[in-house]
Amino acid sequence: MLERALAYLKEKHTCPHCKEELTLCHAPPMHVGDGLGWGSEFLFICLNNDCSLFVNGWDFVENTYGHVGSYRHMEIPNSKESYNMMVAGEGAFTGSIVDVEALKKQNSRYQQEKKAIAKLDGCVEANDLEPVLYLLTDNAATQSERKRAAELLVPLNDLACIEPLRNHDFGDNHIAQDIEMAISTILASHYLRECPYCAELVKVRAKVCKHCQKELEEA
Ligand SMILES: [Zn+2]
Ligand SMILES: [Zn+2]
């Protein structure tokens, strides 16, 4: 859906009534009136309040149907189909305008995720923590891929993963638990633990933290 919306954004649609450029909007779930879908998640709509169709529509709707309403010119993306769509007021569809910047951001995040997923296979052999960290710290990434990334932490056995992971809010208890277990295993394999006072890594055998000089309890 994301890639389709980005492709639609390259299309230029012009209103035949006012010659203004149409705005890409999210389609309402149903075709108001006949209950059919538009067959498209997106619609190009003339949102110009000075458009003659919209300006003259009020009287027409009032006289023909006896209620308040007007029309907006609408075209289906990637097609020649166009409609006069009845609207109840000026505000209709202004809330469904496709946010281009958000869409582009979403797309670049998605591309990054795809790249990281592609690098997961072979990252242990390559000693490459980066794709694993990327997926774990991107809460919008696919859950199954994040789980797979979490499983690679122990085989990677890289202490460098601890700080970025400790500084991230996972917003998901399962992933957070997997990561907690992995960090414990990695620390144990290096005979290290985290100082409960300053969070620096210290030897399991240490009785005093070499960083903050606080006395440590027996591990
Ligand atoms: Zn127009
Ligand atoms: Zn300390």
Q: What is the mean pLDDT of the chain?
A: 92
Instruction: Enumerate residues 6+ apart whose C-beta is below 8 A from 14.
Output: 20, 21, 22
Confidence at residue 27, expressed as pLDDT on a 0 to 100 scale? 87
Question: Which pLDDT score, from 0 to 100, does residue 32 have?
Answer: 54
pTM given for the model: 0.71
CA distances for 165 relative to 119, 135, 183, 195, angstroms: 19, 11, 9, 16
**Ligand nearest to C-alpha 198:** 2
Nearest bound ligand to the CA of residue 48: 1
CB-proximal residues (5 Å) to ion ligand 1: 15, 17-18, 46, 48, 51, 73
Which ligand gives the minimal distance to the CA of 21?
1
Distance 58 CA to ligand 1 centre (A): 14
Q: How far, in Å, is the centroid of ligand 1 from the Cα of 38? A: 20
Q: Kindly give the distance from the C-alpha atom of residue 179 to the centroid of ligand 2, in angstroms, as a whole number.
A: 22
Between the CA of 17 and the centroid of ligand 1 the distance, in Å, is: 5
101 Cα to the center of ligand 2, angstroms: 44
Q: 189 C-alpha to center of ligand 2: Å?
A: 20
Look at the chain and count its residues: 219
Residue 104 C-alpha to ligand 1 middle, in angstroms?
27
Closest Cα to residue 151, out of 132, 172, 164, 127? 132
- Give the Å distance between the CA of 63 and the centre of ligand 1: 21
Residue ranges in the chain whose pLDDT is less than 70? 29-37, 219
Buried b (16+ CB within 10 A) or exposed e, 116-147: bbebbeebeeeebbebbbbbbbbeebeeebbe
pLDDT for 31 equals: 53
Sign of the torsion angle spanned by Cα atoms 180, 186, 191, 197: negative
> In this structure, which ligand is nearest to the CA of 15?
1
Residues 6+ apart with CB under 8 A from 12: 21
Element (H, E) at 149: helix 143-151
Which ligand lies nearest the alpha carbon of 201? 2
In this structure, which ligand is nearest to the CA of 73?
A: 1
- Dihedral over alpha carbons 171, 175, 179, 185 (to 10 degrees): 150
Name the 3-class secondary structure at 164: helix
